[in-house]
Structure 1
Amino acid sequence: MVDPTSDHHEDIDEADAPNCEVCGDAIANEATHRVITWIEDESVQTAHFCDDECRQQWDGA
């Protein structure tokens, strides 16, 4: 996976792209890509979503 702070919507191959936490689709070259970050057990965690709808469906589990 590429750096989560990079511009994911620019020339990212599906094999290197993160997957949506809700639907599992690869998020490659999508301007609707959303990322949530948080600290858990002293490390940074991230969750990627293909759009706002999937983000709203996520329960954080």
Structure 2
Amino acid sequence: MVDPTSDHHEDIDEADAPNCAVCDAAIANEVTHRVITWVEDNSVQTAHFCDDDCRAEWDGE
């Protein structure tokens, strides 16, 4: 897993890249990559999105 605070758009292999929480596309080397984080059950959760459109479609589940 790639550190969610790193620069995901720089030299990330597609096999190591996170997948979009909406469309499931691998997010490798994309400057449009968006991440949100939250705390749930005493642990940090993250959701990755390939662009602002997918981020807007996400319902949080």
Gaps of 5+ in 2: none
Aligned equivalents of 1:37, 1:56: Cα separation in 2: 15
1:8 counterpart residue number = 8
Aligned equivalents of 1:52, 1:2: Cα separation in 2: 20
Q: Deviations over 1:14-59 (max 9, x none)?
A: 0000000000000000000000000000000000000000000000
SS of match in other structure, 2:55: helix
Gaps of 5+ in 1: none
1:1-61 aligned within 5 A: 1-61=1-61
Runs of 4+ deviating beyond 6 Å: none
User: Percent identity among equivalent residues?
Assistant: 84
Aligned equivalents of 1:2, 1:49: Cα separation in 2: 14
